[in-house]
Chain A
Amino acid sequence: MPTAASHLFKQRVPAALADRDLKAAMDKAQDGFIGKREQAVSQYPGFEALRELGREIKDHTLAHLDFYLDRYERQVQRNGGHVHWARNSNEARTIILDLCKRANARNVTKGKSMVSEEIGLNGALEESGIAVHETDLGEYIIQLAGETPSHIIAPALHKTKAQVSDLFHAKHQRYGFHQRLTEAPALVNEARQVLRRRYLDAEVGITGANFLIAENGSNMIVTNEGNGDLTRTMAKVHIVTAGIEKLVPTLEDATVLLRLLTRSATGQEFSAYTTLSNGPRREEDPDGPDEYHVVLVDNVRTEMLGNEFRSMLRCIRCGACMNHCPVYGAVGGHVYGWVYPGPMGSVLTPLNVGLEEAGDLPNACTLNGRCQSVCPVNIPLPDLLRRLRRRQHETGLDSRYSRAALRLWTALAARPALYRRAMQWGAVAMKRLAGRRGRLRRFPLAGGWTRSRDMPAPAGSTFQTLYTLYKEGRRR
């Protein structure tokens, strides 16, 4: 598992907010994603009903996950493939490393897979002397830059076009490309030329999965670059990495979720490539791998299946929640400090790496609910984040300062007469502090507020005080 840096969240925020390139990249990306999704959804009559159906399919599958996993495994075996079960990241890495060694692999191509990030696969392969070549353009860019994904479907979202120009110019010299390109199509073309050679060299191709279909053992992936197809067909061995929550009962179910996925993710009716892998090459097939392996990863998924976070397993990794999150938009994905950023990551990261490590993530949220409103399977993200805060509170992991402030407030709230006196006292005190200006530029205990905002001063009497006078006046 990659090391988490989520405890650095607060420390990293100022630099992220001050990064102008990041702001430019985030504003552009969020505006694009939001507008395209809105358009695609408005053009699909009954999108709400489709969302509900998607939720039902996922809930049904999760309720019978043992059955569908078993069925899926048998179908994969019937197609000539192998299913491997990994309880944790360590087991998953070991299984994949063994498969690569057996194939005498020196080069591995990879389609985009967030689970491979979750299990820290690239580092493990490289340590064993195997070269890893990311083939998704975004993944390729961040691999060249030595970075991690900042978004689950657009890993290089945080980069501007100018930064990619500089990066390619610096790193592609050794392949004979000496000109600094500035236009997107030319940059894509140059990356394609570099990557083409990789497909021919690779002994093993590794892809993720968007949907694993129990009824026939198929794996469905969607891409816009076709890199997934080349990764899975060109190498002798195709390995699929996926979380166990990727199961769906039937091909029909997968198409429902596919309609939700592409519209929610990129605002497309259909991605450019939708690919089904069924197993190794059969005699009559013109191409395909000799071996087909699926590595199913658990990590905390079985645990989530049995607790109050089960609904999070409905997630189909579209990224709509982060695209619509104003906090993610302000700080970008790297600040979250682990594989999954934004709202879905703020739920998943603490469950995977612990609340001690990732305690900021459930709190760095205004609970505005926009994420849930665009989630294709209606995951109650704000509620799940609040439940993590509850865990924090009940295990004493919240800050001493906020505990004390909260205790004081709730004690007041439980004593109406005292509360009324305290509020009236506060109204007078704050009005005096404000003086004639009518607003406070500084206020004890609210430094964070007054650093960038004034605090409007109270009128000097609380509503309750004035209302008592008003009622007496009415009686006379």
Chain B
Amino acid sequence: MSDHAKPPRVGLFVTCLVDLFRPNIGFASIKLLEQAGCEVDVPAQQTCCGQPAFNSGDYDATRRIAKQVIEVFEKYDYAVGPSGSCMATMRAHYRDLFEDDPPWLERVDRFGERVYELLSFLTDVMGVARVDAGFAATATYHDSCSGLRELGVKQQPRRLLESVSGFRLQEMDDSEVCCGFGGTFCVKYPEISARMVTDKIAAIEASGADTLIGGDLGCLMNMGGRLSRLGKPVKVYHTAEILADMAGGPAIGEVDAE
């Protein structure tokens, strides 16, 4: 961003879950980034950030995927994605894989400092202070763990949500407690995960909110799937959808009315 005449070039990392389950979040991300003055490209050669392999202890496979991600994204000024956990893998953890490979480690570090989670990128790098959007709701916000603890995403989405007209934020108790998703955890230990998400739903309900917002689709699908199974009317959206004024369609896990 040193050259003011040229807008920063952003490579959007879509994430596999958004690609498969919720393309709307990808388009909302593009809209927000372009509104902030970025030139956005979505490289077709992208796949997965490697987190499933990394958290399963397969460092070799993760290293191969990480090299591929870096090769695809390092040509942009920034790599930005609508997920705290994918972006934390790329920003904070890729370097763990190259401890014994100094040339790559240097390359990984140069790349890592240009990797951002979407909302914190908009506020912290692009200086976005408000958005032009409307959404009538009393909503509660879930702090997804990786974004919160590995990237420091806490106030950024809240500040931007405050500028949405008709939107009221109602904090729940334990908004920083894990929802029980944990990637493969929810499949490997489904009963424990179910208890955790049930506790989370109780906190959401107790807040009195009619809408749940968050910045990671995995967590949102977990909580949304439990809400839907329990027949709760709370609607679930990704932060980017609200901020981009693109939350007019069905919520996550909701049946299309048409």
B196→A330 contact, CB < 8 A = yes
Q: Is B189 an interface residue (CB 8 A)?
A: yes
CB-CB under 8 A from B225, the residues of chain A are 439, 449, 453-456
Given A416-B45, A420-B44, A459–B23 Cβ distance below 8 Å? Answer: yes
Q: Is B115 an interface residue (CB 8 A)?
A: no
Chain A binder among B47-55, B101-109, B124-132, B133-141: B47-55
Q: What is the interface residue range for chain B against chain A? A: 35 or more
- B228-240 CB mask vs A (1 if < 8 Å, else 0) is 1100000000000
Which residues between 2 and 20 of chain B lie within 8 Å of chain A, taking CB atoms?
14, 16, 18-20
Complex alpha-carbon distance, A463 and B194, angstroms = 29
What secondary structure prevails in chain B residues at the interface with A? helix
Which residues between 1 and 27 of chain A lie within 8 Å of chain B, taking CB atoms?
10, 13-14, 17
A410→B149 contact, CB < 8 A = no
CB-CB under 8 A from B150, the residues of chain A are 369
CB-CB under 8 A from B198, the residues of chain A are 452
User: How many residues of A are counted as interface, with CB atoms below 8 angstroms from the partner's CB atoms?
Assistant: 71
Q: Is B181 an interface residue (CB 8 A)?
A: yes
CB-CB under 8 A from A370, the residues of chain B are 145, 149, 176-178
Given A410-B53, A449-B225, A459-B22, A367–B192 Cβ distance below 8 Å? Answer: no
Given A368-B145, A390-B59, A463-B18, A410–B194 Cβ distance below 8 Å? Answer: no
Q: Is B165 an interface residue (CB 8 A)?
A: no
A364→B145 contact, CB < 8 A = no
Of A13, A331, A413, A426, the residue contacting B20 (CB under 8 A) is A426
Return A380 CB to nearest CB of chain B, in Å: 10
A17→B195 contact, CB < 8 A = yes
Which residues between 414 and 465 of chain A lie within 8 Å of chain B, taking CB atoms?
414-416, 419-420, 423, 426-427, 430, 436-439, 441, 446-449, 451-459, 461-464
Chain B binder among A68-76, A106-114, A392-400: A392-400
CB-CB under 8 A from A467, the residues of chain B are 23, 26-27, 42
What secondary structure prevails in chain A residues at the interface with B? helix
CB-CB under 8 A from A407, the residues of chain B are 61
Given A459-B22, A464-B14, A413–B65 Cβ distance below 8 Å? Answer: yes
Return A15 CB to nearest CB of chain B, in Å: 11
Q: Is A124 an interface residue (CB 8 A)?
A: no
Of A17, A463, A470, the residue contacting B14 (CB under 8 A) is A463
Return B236 CB to nearest CB of chain A, in Å: 9
Given A366-B178, A414-B64, A458-B20, A464–B191 Cβ distance below 8 Å? Answer: no
Q: Is A165 an interface residue (CB 8 A)?
A: no
CB-CB under 8 A from A186, the residues of chain B are none
Q: Is A274 an interface residue (CB 8 A)?
A: no
Complex alpha-carbon distance, A437 and B257, angstroms = 10
- Considering only CB atoms, which chain B residue lies closest to A418 in the complex? B47
Of B47, B145, B146, the residue contacting A413 (CB under 8 A) is B47
CB-CB under 8 A from A437, the residues of chain B are 255
- A465-476 CB mask vs B (1 if < 8 Å, else 0) is 011101000000
- Considering only CB atoms, which chain B residue lies closest to A456 in the complex? B253
- Considering only CB atoms, which chain B residue lies closest to A388 in the complex? B57
CB-CB under 8 A from A419, the residues of chain B are 47-48
Instruction: List 5 additional A-B contacts (Cβ < 8 Å) besides A402-B188, A456-B225.
Output: A331-B192, A383-B96, A406-B58, A410-B58, A456-B221
Q: Which of A's residues lie within 8 Å of B, judged by CB? A: 10, 13-14, 17, 326-327, 330-331, 363-370, 372-373, 383, 386-394, 398, 402, 406-407, 409-410, 412-416, 419-420, 423, 426-427, 430, 436-439, 441, 446-449, 451-459, 461-464, 466-468, 470
